[in-house]
Amino acid sequence: MSAPRVRVNENDKQLQVFEKHLLNDIHALNKMLHTGMFEIDKIRIGAEQEFCLVDKYAKAAGKNIEMMEILGKNPMFTTELARFNMEINATPQIFSGSCLSKMEEEILSCLNIAKNAAESLDLQIILCGILPTLRKFDFTMENLTPYERYHALCDSINKLRGKNYELKISGIDELVSEHDSPLIEAANTGFQVHLQCKPDEFVDMYNISQAITAPVLSSATNSPLLFGKRLWKETRIALFSQSVDTRSHKEHAREMSPRVTFGDDWLKKSILEIYKEDIIKYRVLLNTEINENVFEKLKSQTAPDLMALKVHNSTVYRWNRACYGISEGKAHLRIENRILPAGPTVADEMANAALWLGLMVGMHQNYGDITKLMDFDEAKSNFVKSSVHGLDAKLFWLDHKSYAAGDLILNELLPLAKEGLEQQKVKKADIDRYLSIIEERVRKVKTGSYWQLKSFNKLLKEANKEEALAAITASTIKKQKDNMPVHNWDLAELSDNPNWKPNEIFVEEFMTSKIFTVQENDIVELVSEMMDWQKIRYVAVENQEGKLVGLATSRLMLRAYMKHFHQGEALPVTVKDIMIKNPMTIHPGAKFSEAMEIMTTHQFGCLPVVNEEEHVIGMVTEANFLTISKNLVDKFK
C-alpha cells in the first residue's frame, strides 16, 4: 500500500476533522482488541533497508529522484527525506525456516539493482549509520526530496519550533552546529526490523523490546562520526533526538516530552496506552484525506485502515514503535525496532536482526512479564549508555547488577536468542551463521563504530580530515561488495579511495577551531607567555560580550616589548594598546578560495572566523593552507 498523501493543517476545521477521525480510530481499535479481529495464526517479520547515494569522490549525491526514474515502478524502492537517501521495503516473511537468509538474499538482490542504477548515473551506494563525508552544507533545503509529504513534515516542525536547530553532542570531540531546518535528521540511515505480535502477548513483548534495546544496540553500533567529529558510538541516537525535537525552550522548561522518545514507563495493559499517550503528549503535525467510516467496516467484519492513527503514529518517533497494519486482509499488531543503524554489511544487519528477534521470543518464553524483574529506569539508562559507549557500556540486568555489555551478550543473551530462534523453528544453519557473527564481533570488540574510529585515527596521521573521511567511506563501499562481516575487516587505507580529490572546501571545514582568546584589558606580558606556551602566532581579542574587537600577533608583541623596554615605561601595557582593531574576518560558510584571496591580497598571516553574532569560532592561518597544499602535492606525486 502506498504512503498516504499528507499535508499541513491549513485551518482549524481541517485539524478538527482529523482529530475526530483520530478518536474514531482509537475507539475502533479498542473494539477490535475486544472482539478478536486480529491475525494470530501467523507471525511475520519485516525490514526496511535505508542507504545513501554518493558520487565517485565518496561525497553525498542528491540524486534519488533520478534513481527512482531509472528504477521505474519497482515497488521495493522508495525515497527518503533527503535527496541522497533511499529505502528498500523488504517482503514480510513468516518467522520460521529460512526467513532470515531469504530476507538477506532479497535485500542483497535489491541493493544490486540499486547499484546498477547508480552506476548509470556515475554514483555509488553505501550502507552506513551516518555517512562519514556528510558536510553541514549538504543539509540545505535544495537537498530536500521534492515531494509534498517531506515539505509538509518540515513545515509542520518549523511551525512548532521555529527555524533554529542547534546540535550539541559530546564524545571524544564536541559538536556544536546550527541548522535552519529539520533536514539534518536525514543524516541518519537505519535498518528497521519488524516483528508481528499476538494481541494478548503484545504488552509483554513490547516491554521486552524495551529491556533488550541497550545490549542489542551496544553490539551493533556503526555511527561514531559526524562532520569529522568523534562523538557517540551510535551518534544517530543523539542526532535524531535533537533534529526532530519540536519543543521550544519554554516547553523544555515545562518538561514536555521530546518527539523522539524511549518512553517513560513500562506498558501495562494494552497497545492503546501508547496511542492514547501519544495523542495527549504530541500535537498533530500532519493531515491527510480520509474517506473511511471505520465503524461501518467493523460491522462488516472488514479490517479498517485506521489512517488517522497511522499518520499521527508516523510523526512520533519511539525507538520501539507500536504499529498497526493489514496483511492479506487481516489486521495485525507489530513492533518496529528503530534503533539499528544501516550497515556495515547486510550480513551484519541480519545478524543484528537475528539477535533481536531471537531475544524477543527467548526472553518471552523464559521470563514473560519482564517488568517484575527490571526497573524501567534501568532499561532507559542502559539505552543511553549503550548509545554513548557501545560495547564499553556497563549495563544493569535482571538481577539489578551491572555487567559489561560484551559479557552480558556472550554469557546470557546469545543462548537466549538461540533458544528463541529454535522455538520459531528457524533453520539451524541460519541460527548458527548469524549468531556466530554477533559472537565473533563481540569477542573481538570490533563493531562498525570501532572500525571507523580506529581507521579514522590511523588515517589522520597520513592525511587531512577530509581525505580520511573519504577513505573510510570508499573503503566501506569496497568491503560491502563481499558482504564480509565487519569483525573481519582490515582498517581503511588511503589507497581504498583512488578517485579522491577535494571538492570546493568551506572555511568551517578547514579552519582551526581549537583556539583560545584574550580580552582587551589583559596585559601584554601574560598574553605573550600564553602564545609561547601554545606555540601560536595569532590570538583573537574579545570584549566582555564575547564579540571580536581585535587581533594580537607575535610581531606586535615583539614591537611592544622593544618599545617599552627602551623607553623604560613602568605602566603595564594592555592588549588594547597594541592590537589590530576591528580586523577583517570571514564567515564559516565562505569558500576556501575566498579566504585565500583575502589573505594573499592583504598579506595576512591569519583570518578570524566569526558567526552572525560576531563571536570568534575559529581561525584560518597559513598552516591551514600549507596542510591543504601538502595533501594536494602528495596526491600528484
Residue-wise pLDDT for 423-441, tens only, equals 999 999 999 999 999 999 9
CA distance 36 to 25: 16
The kind and range of the H/E element at 363 are: helix 346-367
pLDDT for the residue numbered 634: 56
Region 337-343: what's the mean pLDDT? Answer: 98
**Is domain 507-635 annotated with CATH 3.40.50.1970?**
no
Counting Cβ atoms within 10 Å, is residue 491 exposed (0-12), middle (13-18) or buried (19+)? middle
- In Å, the largest CA–CA distance within the chain is 102
| Cell representation of residue 182 | 529539520
pLDDT for the residue numbered 429: 98
| Cell representation of residue 197 | 505480535
Which CATH class for the 6-444 domain?
alpha beta
pLDDT for the residue numbered 308: 95
pLDDT for the residue numbered 81: 94
496-513 residues labelled b (16+ CB within 10 A) or e (exposed) = bbeebebeebbbbbbbbe
Strands (E), 173-220: 174-179, 191-197
pLDDT for the residue numbered 564: 63
Region 384-403: what's the mean pLDDT? Answer: 97
Residue-wise pLDDT for 267-325, tens only, equals 999 999 999 999 999 888 888 889 999 999 999 999 999 999 999 999 899 999 999 99
- Residues with Cβ within 8 Å of 613's Cβ and at least 6 positions away in sequence, in order, are 546, 547
Ranges of each domain in the chain: 6-444, 448-494, 507-635
Residue-wise pLDDT for 555-602, tens only, equals 888 777 676 655 555 557 888 988 999 999 998 888 878 888 899 898
- pLDDT band, residue 100 (cuts 50/70/90): very high
pLDDT of 247 above 50: no
pLDDT for the residue numbered 249: 46
pLDDT of 253 above 50: no
pLDDT for the residue numbered 286: 86
DSSP letter at 183 equals G
For residue 473, CA distances in Å to 467, 597, 601 come to 10, 31, 37
| Cell representation of residue 475 | 573503503
Residue in this structure with the C-alpha cell 518517533, named with its chain if needed: 317
Residue-averaged pLDDT of the chain: 90
CA distance 334 to 45: 9
- Give SS3 for 195: strand
Region 40-65: what's the mean pLDDT? Answer: 96
Residue in this structure with the C-alpha cell 582593531, named with its chain if needed: 581
pLDDT for the residue numbered 254: 38
pTM: 0.85
Residue-wise pLDDT for 411-425, tens only, equals 999 999 999 999 999
Q: Residue 538, by phi and psi: left (phi above 0), alpha (psi -120 to 50) or beta?
A: beta
Let me know the angle formed at the C-alpha of 478 by 475 and 482, rounded to the nearest 5 degrees. 130
- Which range in 17-31, 163-177, 540-554, 564-578 is most confidently predicted, on average pLDDT? 17-31
